[in-house]
Chains A and B, each alone.
Chain A
């Protein structure tokens, strides 16, 4: 069964304290892995798509990487405005479902 597990459930950082969020996935074949950001009371917003192991993508203080079993979202020198829930999702070959993890709630304190 296709599955996505994110850790930790919640992460508290001081402003400027870099860290990483983990997304472990189990799929029969990976078509793509997505990262989304969700602010309270809003729908998720797209951040990145990764297609194959070894791929990396960056956007401002965020960098996403992908291996054959997991993806990491690295946050460098975070700011309070980076506080949000970060969602990982996968789409498997042979179907059109996008399967989401439960998310990591990130809190960045000034």
Chain B
């Protein structure tokens, strides 16, 4: 089954404790992206990747890191999480970046205390 898999589904952590949210897709998609969703603000793009070893900032990249060492994986790293990073996070992928529909994972609900 074609899918985007995120882990974990729920995560509670404390300020400053490094964490990684994993994302993997099995569709051989070139384009992958991370979004955060906050009430009233909608989905905001954090980082995206056009292909292996190619990443670029979205609209809200501060406090986040990403890497794309393999085509299927695109982990999101929070080196020193803060409470304002409490949010619902989605990973998405598409065949290519140009006007292609996005396939989304099920989301990761992160709470930073």
Instruction: Indicate, yes or no, whether A interacts with B.
Output: yes
A binding-site residues for B, Cβ under 8 Å: 4, 31-32, 34, 36, 41-46, 49, 51, 87, 89, 91, 96-103
> Chain B interface residue count: which class?
20 to 34
- Please tell me if the beta carbons of B45 and A49 are within 8 angstroms of each other in the complex: no
B binding-site residues for A, Cβ under 8 Å: 4, 31, 33, 35, 40-45, 48, 50, 56, 58-59, 90, 92, 97-99, 101-107
- Please tell me if the beta carbons of A97 and B58 are within 8 angstroms of each other in the complex: yes
Interface of A, secondary structure class, is strand
Q: Name the A residues within 8 Å of B103 (CB-CB).
A: 46
Closest approach, in angstroms, between the C-beta of A45 and any C-beta of chain B? 7
- Please tell me if the beta carbons of A101 and B42 are within 8 angstroms of each other in the complex: yes
- Please tell me if the beta carbons of B101 and A102 are within 8 angstroms of each other in the complex: no
Q: Name the B residues within 8 Å of A46 (CB-CB).
A: 101-103
Given A43-B90, A43-B106, check contact A100 B99 (CB 8 Å).
Answer: no
